[in-house]
């Protein structure tokens, strides 16, 4: 049976929402294996002097946990 874990990440980009999500996946993938999906929970922009300065996302990242070899005996 596969077990999936979900973590919440906050990421930002000066380019776009799309790039902010890509940054979240890029950073998560550095230390997490088996990333399956990302759900964008919330989005926001930071504004300064009437202009958008950065795009932010709150993401839920899902990944499958590695199966332990000891569990194969069960």
- Per residue in 22-59, pLDDT (tens digit) is 999 999 999 999 999 999 999 999 999 999 999 999 99
Q: Are 24 and 34 in contact (CB under 8 A)?
A: no
Domains and CATH numbers, the chain: 4-66 (3.30.1660.10)
Taking the whole predicted model, whether its pTM rises above 0.85 is answered as no
From 64, 61, 59, select the one nearest 4 (Cα to Cα): 64
Does pLDDT of 74 surpass 90? no
Q: Are 43 and 12 in contact (CB under 8 A)?
A: no
CA–CA–CA angle 49, 50, 53 (5° rounding): 80
């Amino acid at each position: 049976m596969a077990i999936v874990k979900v973590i919440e990440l906050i990421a930002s980009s000066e380019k776009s929402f799309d790039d902010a999500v890509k940054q979240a996946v890029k950073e998560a993938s550095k230390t997490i294996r088996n990333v399956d999906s990302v759900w964008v929970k919330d989005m926001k922009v930071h504004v300064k002097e009437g202009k958008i300065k950065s795009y932010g996302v709150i993401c839920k990242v899902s990944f499958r946990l590695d199966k332990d070899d000891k569990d194969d005996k069960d």
